[in-house]
Amino acid sequence: MILVTGGAGFIGANFILDFLAATDEPVLNLDKLTYAGNPHNLDALQGDSRYTLVRGDINDRSLVRQLLSGRRPRAVVHFAAESHVDRSIHGPGEFVQTNMVGTFSLLEETRAWWSALPAGEKDAFRFLHVSTDEVYGSLGPNDPAFSETTPYAPNSPYSASKAGSDHLVRAYHHTYGLPTVTTNCSNNYGPYQFPEKLIPLMIHNALAGKPLPVYGDGSNVRDWLYVGDHCAAIREVLARGRIGETYNIGGGAEMKNIDVVHTLCALLDAARPRAEGGYASLVTFVTDRPGHDRRYAIDASKIRAEIGWVPRESFGSGLAKTVRWYLDHADWVEDVASGAYRTWVEQNYAARGAA
C-alpha cells in the first residue's frame, strides 16, 4: 500500500482516483481537511476497501509514526501543502508551518521508521515529494524554460516555503540515504480544483454573472498542465524514477492569463450563452499582486527521455473537459463555495480595485 498526504486536495484527490483506476494497491490518505481538502472529492471511492481516509496533520508526528508502523507503506507520496500565492501574501506563517515544518516532520518520522526496515523493504521504499515550478522564480519573455538544474529563485512566501521543502527532501537523501524523488510541476487545472485559482474562479464568477478579475494587464504567462496528465506522470515517476533525482512535469502549453480567460469565455459562450452578451464583457483588470512572477515555462525533456511520459491533453482539449466538468458538477461548486471562501475572495479582490 501507499501513504498519500493531502489526498483530499485538488491534485491529491485526482492522483488517488487515477492510481486506484490503474492498480488494486490500497491507498491510505492522510489529510488535515482544511478549506481546500474536501473528502467529497473522493466520494466515488465510498465502500471501496482499497481506500482509507485518516483526518490528521503531517505535523502530528505521533500520528504519522503510528500510520507508518501500523500500515508499513511501500511509498509516501507527499502532496500536503498550502498552495495559493495570494493566501501566502496575506498569511505566510501557515505556509512555513505546513510546507516546511510539516515536510520536516514527515521526513523525520519517515526516516526513523525506514531506517529500521528489513533490507528488502528498505530498498523498495520511496518518498515522492510533489512540488512546483514556482521555486525557480520568474522568466523573461525569451529565457529558456525551467530545467531541473535551473537555480532556485522563489519570489513569494508560497514558493519560498516550497523551495525550502524541496531542499529538505534533497538533504534527507544525501545525508541519510532516504530514497527520495521530487517532481516540480507547472500550473495544474481540471476537476475538483478549489475556486480560488484562475480557471475555476473564472468559471464560477462567469456563471454567476460576476466580474472576472484579471491581475495587471493579463500578460503573465503560465505553462498549463491538465491534472490527469500530471497524475499519470507522478505514477510513472513513482514506478521508474531514479532515487535522488528531480523531474520537471509540464504541459507544454504556455498561455497568457488573459488568453486563458478569453478561451474560457468562448467555451462558456458556446456551452451556456448569456442573455446579456458574451462572458468576455465581464473581464475586469485589477491591481496586480505584489511580486507577481511574469512567466513560467517547463522543460520536460528529462521525464520524457528517462520515463517516456508525455501529456495526452492539449490545452484546448483539457480546458474543454474542465469546463464541461464544472458545468456538470454545479452542486460540488456550490458546496465548496462556503462563507469562508466568499470571505476570502472579498478580502483578496475587493481591496484591489480597477487597475
Q: How far is Cα 275 from Cα 227, in angstroms, rounded to an integer?
A: 32
CA angle 348, 349, 354 (to 5 degrees): 145
CA angle 13, 31, 49 (to 5 degrees): 65
Q: How far is Cα 246 from Cα 236, in angstroms, rounded to an integer?
A: 13
pTM, to two decimals: 0.93
Q: How far is Cα 134 from Cα 122, in angstroms, rounded to an integer?
A: 32
Reduced to 3 states, what is the DSSP secondary structure of residue 351?
A: coil
User: How crowded is residue 274: how many other Cβ atoms within 10 Å of its Cβ?
Assistant: 15
What is the Cβ-side half-sphere exposure of residue 43, based on CA atoms within 13 angstroms? 5
Q: Tell me, what DSSP letter sits at residue 287?
A: P
Residue listed under C-alpha cell 472576472: 212
Q: How far is Cα 245 from Cα 265, in angstroms, rounded to an integer?
A: 40
Instruction: Give residue 350's pLDDT.
Output: 61
Is 133 assigned a catalytic role? Answer: yes
Reduced to 3 states, what is the DSSP secondary structure of residue 316?
A: helix
Instruction: Give residue 194's pLDDT.
Output: 87
Domains parsed from the chain with CATH numbers: 2-191+224-252+294-313 (3.40.50.720)
Is 134 assigned a catalytic role? Answer: yes
Cα separation values, 179 from 27, 112, 132, 331, Å: 20, 13, 20, 42
Residues 6 or more apart whose Cβ sits within 8 Å of residue 211: 205, 282, 283, 284
User: Within its chain, how far is the Cα of 341 from the centroid?
Assistant: 18
Instruction: Give residue 339's pLDDT.
Output: 58
User: How crowded is residue 190: how many other Cβ atoms within 10 Å of its Cβ?
Assistant: 24
Burial class (CB in 10 A: 0-12, 13-18, 19+), 98: buried
Q: Which of 51, 136, 158, 279 is catalytic?
A: 158
Is 313 assigned a catalytic role? Answer: no
CA angle 234, 235, 236 (to 5 degrees): 90
Q: Which of 134, 196, 254, 313 is catalytic?
A: 134
Computed from CA positions of residues 187, 189, 195, 200, in that sequence, does the dihedral angle turn out positive or negative?
Answer: positive
Instruction: Give residue 147's pLDDT.
Output: 98
Q: Under a CB-based contact definition with an 8 Å cutoff, are residues 137 and 162 in contact?
A: no
User: How crowded is residue 270: how many other Cβ atoms within 10 Å of its Cβ?
Assistant: 10
Instruction: Give residue 34's pLDDT.
Output: 84
User: How crowded is residue 56: how many other Cβ atoms within 10 Å of its Cβ?
Assistant: 17
Q: Which of 57, 133, 196, 254 is catalytic?
A: 133
Q: List the pLDDT tens digit at each of the 355 positions of the chain.
A: 999 999 999 999 999 999 999 999 999 999 998 877 888 899 999 999 999 999 999 999 999 999 999 999 999 999 999 977 778 888 999 999 999 999 999 999 999 999 999 999 999 999 999 999 999 999 999 999 999 999 999 999 999 999 999 999 999 999 999 999 999 999 999 999 988 889 999 999 999 999 999 999 999 999 999 999 999 999 999 999 999 999 999 999 999 999 999 999 999 999 999 999 999 999 999 998 788 889 999 999 999 999 999 999 999 999 999 999 999 998 888 888 765 655 655 665 565 555 5
Instruction: Give residue 84's pLDDT.
Output: 72
Q: Tell me, what DSSP letter sits at residue 146?
A: B
